[in-house]
Amino acid sequence: MLPLALLVLGRGAQAQAADGGVPEERDALRTDAGWTVEGAADAGPVLVPPSLRVDAPAPYPPELASERVAGVVRLELLVDAEGEVESATLVDGVHPLLDRSALHAAPSLRFAPATLDGVPVPVRVFFEYRFEAPPTADALREQQARAVTLRGLVRTKGNRRPIVGATLLSDLAPDAPAQTDAEGRFEARWPAGRHHVRVSAPGHKPGAFQETLAESQALEVVYGLEPLVINPYETVVRGDRERTEVSRVTLHDAELREVPGTMGDPFRVVMLLPGVGSMLSGVAYPVVRGGQPSSTGYFLDGIRVPILFHLFLGPAVIHPDFIDAIDFFPGSPPPQYGRLLGGAIEGRLTRPRDDRVHGSAYADLINAGFFLQTPIRSTDTHVSVAGRYSYTPWLVALAANKLQDPPAPGRLNPKLVLDFWDYQLRVEQDVGRGKLRLFAFGSSDTFGTQAQDAFGDTAMQSISFHRVDLRHRHPVGPGELELAATWGLDRFGVTNSHPPDDATELFIDQSMWAARAGYTLPLSRDLGLRAGADVDHKRAIVDLFEKTPGEEQQDVAPVALATFAGAWAELAWRPRPDWSVVPGVRLDSYHLSPGIDRRVVEPRLSVRHQYDERLVLKAGMGLFHQPPTSLISLPVVDVGSLFLGLQQSAQFSVGAEYKAWRRLDVGLDVYFNPMVRTIELTPFSDEGMVDGDPDPPTGPNLPKRGGRRRGTQILDDDDLGIPGRDDLDLPDFKSHGLAYGLELLIRHPLGDNWFGWLSYTLQRSTRRSRFHRYDAEGNVVGEARADLPFTFDQTHILNLVLSYKFSNSVTLGGVLHFNTGRPEYGTLGTQTHREGLDSSGRPSWVKVDRDRVDRLPAFLRLDLRLSRSWVYETFSLEAYLDMLNVTVSQETVSFEYEGGGGRPLSKQAVGLPVVLPILGVKGRY
């Protein structure tokens, strides 16, 4: 059944036929370079012949069984531009009944259409049916008596997934092929003897095996086929929940683990999505729509995660293989995400697999980790466990210690410590029609310098947390009920020691108990209800130990006791098939002992309209509240600051989603967020940084004694190490602000062996600020208020992400990141200075007012990821190089203003090229 010759219909054939004309037909010619058409030049059009997709066997007529007629029936088929058989004409016949059987079967054939220079065209092909007389009854009985059963499984090498629809052929039984079923299993009855078995399946390299079948025996085998591409970027249709939110981006699979510069960590990918800025390149705490990083909540299957990343620059605290997908809501998250002023990021855990044991292990230059999951079929239980441990105590710290100055005689330099680890454990049990799940996870980070002898100083900090969550889901009535309870412990510790008699140890422990409930109920075909409630109880204790010459003191005291409770509900209503309206409301109660209570009501509304099959229009609005926030989430601060009141913000957004050419998804969102009240406890430093000024101005903004400015703080010679706090730039508890912007996402989802996206963010974020006015000599002369860009305001942010998997299982990807600079306020660096004169008329640096500061320079960065995969019988191996900031670009975070007092003035950029080269290997079983 192969095409013997081709006769091409020209590209205008269909149009001519429609007009009543005669289609143009040209012969197909076979050349050394492939197929072309008659009359074409040497570089003429390229013809790709049709290929059979769906076979249509012609049955042997039972009436001819006794006559045992055999032969080949040759047909001419007209295959249209869709690959369907338009007509079939007999060319060479054998017998009227065989000819009729072939002509009846041919219209059911389906082809991949022929293409001429990439354009589908109709063609004529010669096609043949080969008829053989069926064996006689005696022959059948003899074959059956001598046949041997070969059964087994065909699976993909490496991941051991069963292959559906694989075909097995034997040279001793060419007319008795076998095919695998939905579980990848097959059974063949072939004659005894030595068989050469050929196994083929779409997307896999054919396999050849030799089997010796003995009479009166059955043979069980397992065949593994090597995939054409290891772990290809395949389009997978998932049963995600219906889209009702205005702004949501969902990432899956390789989009989470193979993005350059992210160390294979799913949560770091969020930094490359629209609406997300950064504090510093490489620091993976997202600044969403111009808010503080802690204004965005991090969740893991509904569990609030207090700290998301190790050591700020490191990977997330959850093993990547535990994450199945990530939902990112840059604004207007659904009402189940409460007590947030900004967006929400939720990681969804992988579904337990019940087919066999699965696992992975990896090691790179920073850490090593493992993941293992196994089903226990006898009890319908699934167990998953994962963990990671860092090498940084030996590698990074060792390198840093080697770069230090030689130690003083008889004394060792302090050792740099950068250490982290985490763990996860999940046990899921089927209970009737429901599921019970226990999920425990935790993390620990330790960093600082540790003395190596009795004379050295120690300055260490540690952050750790633990969570244990028990969840039960069960159908109740026509809906599903979810109940969950969570216990947690957070610890923040600081240790400082200065021999012989000066030591301070501070530990803040915050325990929490939480519970949540949710119910999903379909009320009708067009109306559904989602409702729930949650409560969160926190208790913080401070343990302080101080040792000074001749005195030791230890204080343990509770500092915060709080209970937060909320309830929410939303209706998903479809008044028409092309409209979706989702009104919702959330009620929250905040209680801080002894007697501080806040209660709020937060209405929400989102609307989606399916304008046509490619375009969706959407809009949403809502009201949001959150306790005062610090730079990142910290124990006690998140609770104890409630006495300052609540922050309040409204969010309004409109947008569109468009299915563009070649599977490109285009999303556009415009948002406007008036911040009615903001209490943002950003750590403020002094507004300027001047080094080497022997005769500084004596205004109240500078130290009164011989102080010196270095880094981002004022150091006094008598109180070395104590930041200067002589400015008014403290949080304004009556401040307000505004955030507005535009977000564009052009995305190619997984498929065709590549994925990628282009995200652009235009954002502005302002706050009502109070600041000083200065005269020409840098003295404070007054105060002012103005709406100024927020500390984290980055006006333009652009990300281009591309990753392609080649046929040799090599993957190459790149990320191009660009952002404009933040204002040079002095809050997270320096405040802008201008050249001026001091009181003696000499050139000097003069601090400018905050409404006249410069912006830091723009930043451009390139990340790359290169990997190669190998497949073995039961596991696969991947080696990878993932490098953040290949260009070693330096992001300017501040400036050093040097000179004055008769010395030349100079301005030096302060920054550090954050470069993270990750070389590692990962195995999957």
Tell me if 825 sits within 8 A of 791, measured CB to CB: yes
Smallest Cα–Cα separation from 883: which of 860, 916, 914?
Answer: 916
User: How far apart (Å, rounded) are the C-alpha atoms in residues 545 and 498?
Assistant: 14
User: How far apart (Å, rounded) are the C-alpha atoms in residues 633 and 636?
Assistant: 9
With a cut of 60, say whether residue 409 has pLDDT above it: no
Neighbours of 812 (CB within 10 A): 15
Residue 43 is predicted with a pLDDT of 58
With a cut of 70, say whether residue 777 has pLDDT above it: yes
User: How far apart (Å, rounded) are the C-alpha atoms in residues 11 and 6?
Assistant: 15
In this prediction, residue 42 has a pLDDT band, given cuts at 50, 70 and 90, of: low
Residue labelled with tokens 């004694």: 705
- R_g (Cα) of the chain, nearest Å: 35
Q: Is 476 exposed, middle or buried (0-12, 13-18, 19+ CB in 10 A)?
A: middle
With a cut of 90, say whether residue 864 has pLDDT above it: yes
With a cut of 70, say whether residue 732 has pLDDT above it: no
Residue 166 is predicted with a pLDDT of 92
Residue 64 is predicted with a pLDDT of 86
Residue 682 is predicted with a pLDDT of 60
Task: Lowest mean pLDDT of 446-450, 630-634, 651-655, name the range.
Answer: 630-634
User: How far apart (Å, rounded) are the C-alpha atoms in residues 851 and 788?
Assistant: 7
With a cut of 70, say whether residue 44 has pLDDT above it: no
Q: Report the relative pairing of strands 859-871 and 876-884 from DSSP bridges.
A: antiparallel
User: How far apart (Å, rounded) are the C-alpha atoms in residues 253 and 258?
Assistant: 8
Smallest Cα–Cα separation from 909: which of 829, 789, 850?
Answer: 829
User: How far apart (Å, rounded) are the C-alpha atoms in residues 554 and 505?
Assistant: 9
Residue 701 is predicted with a pLDDT of 33
Residue 677 is predicted with a pLDDT of 92
What's the length of the chain?
Answer: 925
Stretch 593-614: mean pLDDT: 92
With a cut of 70, say whether residue 708 has pLDDT above it: no
Partners of 602 in beta bridges: 586
Residue 683 is predicted with a pLDDT of 52
Residue 529 is predicted with a pLDDT of 94
Backbone angles phi, psi at 851, to 5 degrees: -85, 5
pLDDT tens string 253-273: 888 889 999 888 888 999 999
Cα 283 to Cα 276, 286, 309, 569: the distances in Å are 12, 8, 9, 36
Smallest Cα–Cα separation from 177: which of 162, 164, 192, 187?
Answer: 187
With a cut of 50, say whether residue 690 has pLDDT above it: no
Amino acid at 496: N
Is 477 or 707 the better-scoring residue by pLDDT? 477
b/e per residue, 309-344, with b = 16+ CB within 10 A? bbbebbbbbbbbbbbbbbbbbbbbbbbbbbbbbbbb
Q: Report the relative pairing of strands 297-300 and 344-349 from DSSP bridges.
A: parallel
In this prediction, residue 300 has a pLDDT band, given cuts at 50, 70 and 90, of: very high
Neighbours of 467 (CB within 10 A): 22
Smallest Cα–Cα separation from 842: which of 660, 703, 702, 695?
Answer: 695
Stretch 292-303: mean pLDDT: 90
Residue 141 is predicted with a pLDDT of 63
SS (H, E, C) 801-863: EEEEECCCCEEEEEEEEEECCCECECCCCCECEEEEECCCCCEEEEECCHHHCCECCCEEEEE
Q: Is 888 left (phi over 0), alpha (psi -120 to 50) or beta?
A: left
Neighbours of 552 (CB within 10 A): 10
User: How far apart (Å, rounded) are the C-alpha atoms in residues 539 and 509?
Assistant: 8
Is 140 or 311 the better-scoring residue by pLDDT? 311
With a cut of 70, say whether residue 752 has pLDDT above it: yes
pLDDT tens string 819-842: 999 999 877 778 899 888 877 888
Partners of 588 in beta bridges: 566, 600
Residue labelled with tokens 């425990």: 440
b/e per residue, 192-221, with b = 16+ CB within 10 A? ebebebebbbeebeebeeebebeeeeebee
Residue labelled with tokens 């003035």: 905
pLDDT tens string 108-120: 898 889 888 888 8
Percent of the chain surpassing pLDDT 70: 85
Amino acid at 567: A
With a cut of 60, say whether residue 237 has pLDDT above it: no
Best mean pLDDT range from 277-291, 560-574, 763-777: 560-574
Stretch 317-335: mean pLDDT: 90
Stretch 225-235: mean pLDDT: 80
Stretch 597-623: mean pLDDT: 94
Residue 49 is predicted with a pLDDT of 87
Stretch 320-336: mean pLDDT: 90
Task: Lowest mean pLDDT of 274-283, 449-458, 531-540, 570-579, name the range.
Answer: 449-458
Residue 6 is predicted with a pLDDT of 56
DSSP string, 669-691: EEEEEEEEEE-EE-----S--EE
Tell me if 781 sits within 8 A of 773, measured CB to CB: yes
CA dihedral 513, 426, 326, 277 (to 10 degrees): 60
In this structure, what DSSP letter does residue 189 have? E
Task: Lowest mean pLDDT of 74-83, 324-333, 396-405, 489-498, name the range.
Answer: 396-405
Task: Lowest mean pLDDT of 49-53, 297-301, 343-347, name the range.
Answer: 49-53
In this prediction, residue 16 has a pLDDT band, given cuts at 50, 70 and 90, of: very low
